[in-house]
């Protein structure tokens, strides 16, 4: 499977988290909780990423650290896509 581009992750995050600015690049170290990622939004985001990116989050990846920042999420997605 091809590595997931950061731009794709940004597009998905913007669709799931309306508090994100529409035009600016999303910093990889942005705490996602500060822009509305709560437990319900995390589940919806995970399901969306699995559908769009063709990955499956294993149990050990379903953790707060995975969804803390776009960078941490992108790193996990990269490992899953190349796994």
33-71 pLDDT, tens digit per residue, is 999 999 999 999 999 999 999 999 999 999 999 999 999
If you ran DSSP here, which 8-state letter would residue 33 be given?
Answer: G
Burial class (CB in 10 A: 0-12, 13-18, 19+), 7: exposed
Residue scoring higher pLDDT (2 or 79): 79
Confidence check: pLDDT of 3 > 70: no
**Residue 83 has which token pair?**
């796994």
Q: How many helices (H) and strands (E) does the chain have?
A: 3, 0
pLDDT, position 19: 86
pTM of full prediction above 0.75: yes
């Amino acid at each position: 499977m091809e590595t997931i581009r950061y731009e794709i992750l940004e597009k998905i995050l913007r669709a799931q988290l309306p508090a994100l600015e529409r035009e600016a690049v999303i910093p990889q170290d942005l705490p996602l909780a500060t822009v509305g990622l709560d437990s319900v939004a995390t589940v919806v985001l995970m399901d969306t990423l699995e559908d769009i990116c063709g990955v499956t989050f294993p149990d050990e990846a379903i953790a707060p650290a995975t969804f803390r920042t776009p960078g941490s999420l992108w790193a996990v997605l990269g490992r899953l896509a190349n796994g």
